[in-house]
Amino acid sequence: MAPGLERTHRGHRGLLALVILSYSLAAALITVETYRSLGVDRPVLTVADDYVGGALLAWAAWLTPRPGERSRRIVVAVWGVICGVSLCNFSVKLLMPDRMTPGNLTPLLLQLLVGAAFLFSLAALVASVSLPVARTDPEPY
């Protein structure tokens, strides 16, 4: 790992992967939801929830390499919320496909994307709980 990244993420590659996953899923949520809703008469709150989720994930990505338990607790909470919401969305789309509003996406693609988001968020939740918390003291050389 490059020396700059090593210092930023306190020497743990898992933290860097979690940061990348957080920013990637945040961007994907906002981009896909925007495309899905363009020109389609969908209620504002059904679009806004993904924007809020994207903002929370960006905040979690920013907090992930920060030292201390408080930052990690917020990161775990954000991933817990994202995991729960994506599981609910996946379940509703799977169990009640007639209520799905895919917008500009095909129903199958929407279901695959929501399922992938759930799997990624579940993996990130486990990682955010199990990865070491960044230290506040500098590591002796």
Q: pLDDT tens across 86-134, in order?
A: 999 999 999 999 988 899 999 999 999 999 999 999 999 999 999 988 7
Residues 119, 122, 124, 129, Cα dihedral to 10° = -160
pLDDT digits (tens, 9 = 90+) for 47-77: 899 999 999 999 999 999 988 889 999 999 9
pLDDT at 68: 86
pLDDT at 41: 85
Q: What is the mean pLDDT of residues 19-43?
A: 94
Structure tokens at 31: 């981009």
pLDDT at 140: 52
**Sign (positive/negative) of CA torsion 126, 127, 128, 129?**
positive
**Is residue 3 over pLDDT 50?**
no
Phi, psi of 137 (to 5 degrees): -90, 145
